[in-house]
Structure 1
């Protein structure tokens, strides 16, 4: 009888130690997941900020339109969206992702490209190429292409330094979450292939 009690007590202690060890492993995994996601899956972390709540994303309690207006580095983008008649759409409820070129990205356009871009129909086409309606799905991210509002796709790829590339533009991490979508800052204006 004493042997059975000792075995039961030893088994119970072993179970408690094993449960503690699994608990520590579990907590460590949860804490490191956002870091691992950023390190090994930068595309997922960039496009799905809601999936990684512990990562320090920039968050705005305003719409995409209001958030872009408040940030001075997007002054050209705001003006261009207004000129194309797309700005008010980014104030409405729904879910959008915008690839947001900074002012320096617009300033670095060559004279030839800027001249073509300045034509109203081309401006709308290029700016729609920066917009995605609805949430970007993990399947799109994994496949490496995202269909834009313009109708063609932007290619996504991971760079060796851990950043994400959209066509030739580099996406700046972290993304900014807003009340109606996500803003992804990029360092170049995206130009559709048939521009």
Structure 2
């Protein structure tokens, strides 16, 4: 028998449209252990670059000097805005943020998209908020068949990387 919180997490994760099977802890008394998904061999940065929809994010990580950090051991959870999300910012915003004199502001924005630890969709869906690497906190809402993080909709969840997980979001989060 599932406890209500486990059922809520499973329902929210399924609502995210996960492509991979969801691993969950077997209920007590059940001797069958849940299968663990295979870990990806590429780190967060290489996984994002290979996806092809995070070119602006990759350029921003480079400009902020965060590439080596996100290639590190982690684990990290990244709420990754797509190129389209960056393009939706007011004209000139991205270009301005990529300038060396705005590195501190860019770093604050990018680290607001990162949570220390591995938070798969099922875990995210059970949270109301999460502390970010920059010291802020993102609000998380699981309702209506989806999950939002500070108002950004998670459009794809659980992209596995060797040092964490990526959840694709449809807008850039601002601390």
Which one of the candidate residues 132, 143, 152 is aligned to 2:115? 132
Do the aligned partners of residues 121 and 173 (structure 1) sit closer, same or farther apart at CA in structure 2, a change above 3 Å counting? same
**What TM-score, normalized to structure 1?**
0.66
Q: Is the 8 A contact 1:38 1:45 kept in 2?
A: no
Q: In the alignment, what sits opposite 2:80?
A: 100
C-alpha displacement of 1:93: 1.6
Structure number having the greater strand percentage? 2
Q: Structure 2: where are the runs of 5+ without partners? A: 26-33
Do the aligned partners of residues 51 and 159 (structure 1) sit closer, same or farther apart at CA in structure 2, a change above 3 Å counting? same
Q: In the alignment, what sits opposite 1:183?
A: 166
C-alpha displacement of 1:179: 0.9
Structure with max Cα Rg: 1
CA RMSD in angstroms comes to: 3.6
- Counterpart Cα distance in 1 of 2:123 and 2:54: 29
Do the aligned partners of residues 180 and 144 (structure 1) sit closer, same or farther apart at CA in structure 2, a change above 3 Å counting? same
- Counterpart Cα distance in 1 of 2:13 and 2:49: 30
Q: Is the 8 A contact 1:117 1:123 kept in 2?
A: yes
Report whether the alignment pairs 1:60 with 2:40: yes
- Counterpart Cα distance in 1 of 2:91 and 2:75: 34
Structure number having the greater helix percentage? 1
Select between 73-82 and 137-146 the one with higher mean Cα deviation.
Answer: 137-146
Do the aligned partners of residues 76 and 44 (structure 1) sit closer, same or farther apart at CA in structure 2, a change above 3 Å counting? closer
**What TM-score, normalized to structure 2?**
0.73
The number of aligned residues is 157
Which one of the candidate residues 64, 67, 70 is aligned to 1:84? 64
Q: In the alignment, what sits opposite 1:39?
A: 11
- Choose between structure 1 and 2 for higher RCO, CA contacts under 8 A separated by at least 6 residues: 2
Q: Structure 1: where are the runs of 5+ without partners? A: 1-25
